[in-house]
Amino acid sequence: MKNTLEFVSQTGRALLTLREMLLKGEFAPGERLSELALVARLNVSRTPIRLALDRLAHEGLLTGAPSGGFIVCEFTLADIWDSIEMRGVLEGTAARLAAERLTDPSELLQLREYQRQMDAIPNNTMDDFARYMDLNESFHIELISLAKSSMLDRSLKHLTSLPFANPSAMVFARSKLPRAVELMTIGKEQHHAILEALANHQGTRAEAVAREHAALSRRNLESVFVGDSKILSCVPGASLIRLETVV
């Protein structure tokens, strides 16, 4: 995984552009992507495009056609929910391992700092909410690093390479909800419980709370779907989702 400075190379630009195009819905699910057409649209040679397509296939947005080439993947609502479920399982494992492998209380300092900053947010304006989401992401990243497991890290990175499983992908949908403040309050409490469990080496409790923390995302997403269906289009990659009503 070359993740450093891919923005300057042709391959990196092609990868970012293609991913954005896919998530924006410029290609229909099941559509076959022609390399030459992309050459014309991106002003890049076929080679970097080929690399980018191959990489997107590994990320899961594309799949290889039996006769060669790549076609756009299609997802279902069940896939999205399963992604969040998986994120809960993996982050729950991260919390449990962190609790089991904690050797010094000072390892929790950074996590406590994030929590302190989150608690200090007045949660009134939209900016407050964006700041909470940033801190929330930092909190989760730090939690995962405390698990001290490169394999777990790998699995989580692989999972969140799909946009649906990425917690920050739901920011737009979430921020439009009146329930935002309420969810934020619950989230803070769960962070508090996770920290307490870590400090006391309560692995099972940490795992359970972290799973429930992900379930919060799921409940939020459900309320989005049953609510205004136009909000769904704010979620990246929404056009790749096959709604049951269409079938």
Partner DNA sequence: CTAGTATACACTGTATGCAGGTATGCAAGC
Partner DNA sequence: GCTTGCATACCTGCATACAGTGTATACTAG
The residue ranges that bind a copy of itself (CB under 8 A) are 1-4, 47, 50-51, 54-55, 57-58, 60, 63-64, 66, 78-79, 82-83, 85-86, 89-90, 93, 97, 149-152, 154-155, 158-159, 162, 165
Interaction between residue 21 and DNA (CB under 7 A): no
CA distance 56 to 14: 11
Q: Which of 242, 120, 125 has its CA nearest to residue 188? A: 120
77 binds, among DNA, a copy of itself, none (CB under 5 to 8 A by kind): none
- Asked if 209 and 202 count as a contact pair (C-beta separation under 8 A), the reply is no
CA distance 247 to 244: 5
Between the alpha carbon of residue 204 and those of residues 87, 93, 97, 198, 243, the distances in Å are 17, 9, 10, 10, 36
103 binds, among DNA, a copy of itself, none (CB under 5 to 8 A by kind): none
CA distance 96 to 194: 10
Site for DNA in 40-69 (CB under 7 A): 44-48, 50-51, 64, 66-69
Interaction between residue 17 and DNA (CB under 7 A): no
- Asked if 61 and 72 count as a contact pair (C-beta separation under 8 A), the reply is yes
- Using the rule CB under 7 A, which residue among 24, 31, 34, 58 binds DNA? 34
152 binds, among a copy of itself, DNA, none (CB under 5 to 8 A by kind): a copy of itself
Binding site for DNA (CB under 7 A): 2, 9-12, 32-37, 44-48, 50-51, 64, 66-69
